[in-house]
Amino acid sequence: MKPGDIVLIRFPQTDLQVGKLRPALVVAIAPGRHEDVLLALITSRVHQAVPDFDEIIEPEDRDFAETGLKVRSVVRIARLATVDASVINARLGKVSSHRMVSVKRRLGAWLHV
């Protein structure tokens, strides 16, 4: 597993209730001896995308086939969770390195404020 991979996980809800099985983007692997992974939620509810912040993945995009996603989706950059790698159910695919740079740039700009 590496940054840019799209995985399936029971993404935790913001109220810490157990969530549904959902795709998520691996944003980073935490350094150190623990196998912690920083994930960003992916949803097909594109209407929830924050303009000029979230990353929309379109079926027409060059990397769409590699993602393993079935429909137009959005990477919710502000919906983050750090989880142990053992709770990841499967790997679906990956995004392009160009898209990953875009996600990290937006996340970094948001956190820099």
Q: Cα–Cα distance between 59 and 42 in angstroms, integer?
A: 14
DSSP secondary structure letters along 15-76: TS----EEEEEEEEE-SSSS-EEEEEEEES-GGGPPTTTSEEE-TTSTTHHHH---S-EEEE
Could you tell me the residue range of the domain that residue 83 belongs to? 5-112
Q: What is the pTM of this model?
A: 0.90
Counted domains in the chain: 1
* CATH number where 100 lies: 2.30.30.110
Show pLDDT as tens, one digit a residue, over the chain (113 residues). 899 999 999 866 655 566 678 999 999 999 988 889 999 999 999 999 999 999 999 999 999 999 999 999 999 999 998 989 988 999 999 999 999 999 999 999 999 86
What values do phi and psi take at 109, rounded to 5?
-65, -40
